[in-house]
Chain A
């Protein structure tokens, strides 16, 4: 991100906050039930001093990381498998296409009923939701592999394993990385949503629930602000990782994203 772009982004965000501040202070009337952005930001800055909030952040991020890693471990091999074996892919495709559009938040009540351990329940729904983008991206990545490159290797006598390791996997890797980045955002949404629906001992969503029930809308929004910030940071970090790892891919496709 260049300096000018960063500046423009900052100006946009500041303008948005200022507009919100003015509308609430002079239009809707300021009170605890409708806190202006300045109050929310002030509380957001103070939140890291609250041990209960820190414990919540730890719990949410732990579930998030565990869920995302499990999803990668499940979806990448499954995507490679389906991407390499066309008949299997055709057989499983209808099931995938049916399950994929189901809003993942809607399976939380079912997960609560099925999984007797709170943390495992949360990780399960995170895995379920984040498997799809990784799986589908891996699948398309495998399909996008240059057939000529594969044929060349085969004609030199390389076996399927070597073709997979030397051509297919490296070629599909940027697609997988994009899938993981999309899944990371979805996983964070599910990590917090599961806490909002099911509660728990600690978590950003649990903190929001407690703040809401105690009529602290300002704390509710401040905690939500942090959840959003974690999403932005994760996305930027993964995007930077992708750029570094797959410079050749971006050069080839001209993708700037």
Chain B
């Protein structure tokens, strides 16, 4: 009796240890070959609940993925910081990324590939805003002030820095502090910052609800039409799933063309996956939705990052782009 009980306890103990360590085991789920010879018939795709990845939801709603024999499960991501490890672990097959994050990751030796374009800046899509009664009138007035950005050393700080240089200042003349977009307006009102780098729908919201005014459009001059976001996978995933990738690329490209040709398509899709209502969707300023990933255009991002020392050496973005089915 005593012996059996001790055995039970030992077994329970080892189960406990196994359960604790076992949680971190396991590999990628076995690939299921689908129709059209796809290596993977169902893929998980990470996207932020913002206007940028609208093509994913348009392609889903219009059946573009289904036409390719591909089932896509959209997964809400919270930002690049979590999405990169999620494609590395295999929890996601493809994810939204902003180009500065992916080029930074590539600079650190991460084996990633950009697989399709998503969102490009247009005038007034990323602005530096201040409260209505702020003494700050121009970018030059930001000297010694605190600018709130969604991420430090990323696309926000890069965009603001290009404007600082145009005004004769440098990165060192302002203090950057991190704050998520939803909290930025209140944080500035509460005095946690003097200005903020803000995008939609928050440009419209801060203007209407808090009376904020714009002191600069950060997507002008060297950053005009700057590529902002794209779709990314790991190098390994791209090599193992060429047909699945091509199917994804075709469907997304088709949806991007639809989105860029008719704003109504975007306005109809936004309320289905974001909490942006129809009225706001009709009012906000949107960027561009390119249907091909152009290396030359993307190189501008890498070159700016080198110029402002975000990366230590030059990066040829062609090496980061996965071939698209069109060549």
- Chain A residues in the interface with B (C-beta under 8 A): 31-34, 70, 73-75, 77-78, 80-81, 84, 109, 111-118, 120-121, 123-124, 127-128, 131, 159-162, 164, 196-201, 206, 209-217, 219-220
Contacts and interface: CB of A to CB of B under 8 A. Distances in A.
B73 interface: yes
Given A33-B206, A33-B209, A160-B2, A213 B82 contact: no
Contacts of A217: 182
Contacts of B105: none
Interface string B21-39: 0011011110000000000
Interface residues of B, number: 53
A196 B186 CA distance: 20
Contacts of B78: 196-199, 209
A151 B46 CA distance: 61
Given A73-B15, A161-B5, A197-B78, 5 more contacts: A33-B206, A112-B85, A201-B74, A213-B275, A214-B49
Contacts of A131: 20
B14 to A, nearest CB: 10
B77 A75 contact: no
Nearest to A75: B16
A212 B28 CA distance: 32
B4 to A, nearest CB: 8
B171 interface: no
Nearest to A201: B75
A184 to B, nearest CB: 19
Nearest to A74: B16
Interface of B: 1-2, 4-6, 9-10, 12-13, 15-16, 19-20, 23-24, 26-29, 46, 48-50, 73-78, 81-82, 85-86, 88-91, 180-182, 185-186, 201-202, 205-206, 209-210, 273-276, 280
30 contacts: A70-B19, A73-B16, A77-B12, A77-B15, A78-B16, A80-B9, A112-B82, A112-B86, A113-B85, A115-B89, A116-B26, A118-B91, A123-B23, A161-B5, A162-B1, A196-B78, A197-B78, A198-B77, A199-B46, A199-B78, A199-B82, A200-B76, A201-B76, A210-B273, A212-B180, A213-B50, A213-B274, A214-B276, A215-B201, A217-B182
A21 to B, nearest CB: 17
Given A109-B82, A115-B91, A32 B5 contact: no
Nearest to A131: B20
Nearest to B2: A159
Given A74-B20, A215-B202, A33 B185 contact: yes
B182 A213 contact: yes
A136 to B, nearest CB: 15
A115 B141 CA distance: 48
